[in-house]
Copies of this chain bind each other. A is one copy, B any other.
């Protein structure tokens, strides 16, 4: 209900402006698909609406809340990054956020240093201690979907008045930030659903691509390492993260064409004749056929990797003897990762080579077999590579 007279009129106008603002924020949140961008935007807008100097956001995962994002205008949070990122709060535990998630109700703490002794939660000061901050007033809101599901908790800290003094937050009840929380809940829910869909898709690709190499004994582990190697190399090369993710999934299918190679050749314990080798080489063409007419960028990437991952930088590869930049970037990365993995792990025809020997071969083939940019990136992340191969 609005108050009477001229000041009531002003209140109404402000209320309209706030609602209009919320609608625009609502549209912007719905249109944001990157999970991290979305969570940062929610916290930023909530702080703007309430005048909070700091805040954090937690997302529900199973029986816990996981820390997602923190902001603080007064102090640098970088010292507390590890502490924050490791934070998992029990739902129903004695943290403020855990209590809010289990009760589904907001909590408003005017002064955390004068907390009622009967409060069903306690104020954790671990982060404050690390970064040198003083959490005083707190407003914590559940992010509740229309169906009642709590997808996270928004925690606002230290509301400031015009003079920079910390004051209590308004009660959540009729506050615009409660509406923002409702809008945010749906957006977070949608982002998590989309993430789950993408994850399920990737899971399918890995399962079924592994199948294609079912006849090799250690195909699954080769696929995993090779995909990871492509991912970290591509990322180091500065490719957009979206493309890196497509290379991660697409590279899984690089040898899918091997299903078309008869057992008698694929599983032959002795060396192959030149004719048999020619038949094995057709796995690139068979793979391209399986992945033909791609209807998504992911499938296009998978197609290019399957077809071209045996092309060489110097043009001496197969099946089309492409050279240099004629070869799509994902295939150049996959080529390096495929050979690296073959060298660094035991195969039926050889033991694993030593790190020194693998690196010597890679460097020797730089600019011949391999794209120099890919080699450079791989060498720059050697620590991560070693870790992947459990070589350190």
Contacts and interface: CB of A to CB of B under 8 A. Distances in A.
Interface of A: 2, 8-9, 12-13, 15-16, 19-20, 22-23, 26-28, 30-31, 33, 145-147, 179, 182-183, 186-187, 189-190, 193-194, 196-201, 203-205, 207-212, 214-215, 253, 256, 259-260, 262-264, 286, 290-291, 295-296, 298-299
27 contacts: A8-B9, A9-B12, A12-B12, A19-B20, A23-B23, A23-B179, A27-B182, A30-B187, A31-B146, A31-B147, A31-B186, A33-B190, A197-B197, A197-B198, A200-B298, A203-B296, A203-B299, A208-B208, A208-B211, A208-B212, A208-B253, A208-B256, A210-B290, A211-B211, A214-B259, A214-B260, A259-B259
A196 B299 CA distance: 13
- This chain: copies in complex: 2
A141 to B, nearest CB: 15
A208 B298 CA distance: 14
B30 A190 contact: yes
Contacts of A23: 19, 22-23, 26, 179, 183
A309 B316 CA distance: 48
Nearest to A5: B9
A147 B263 CA distance: 52
Given A197-B198, A198-B197, A291-B207, A183 B27 contact: yes
A259 to B, nearest CB: 5
A20 B23 CA distance: 9
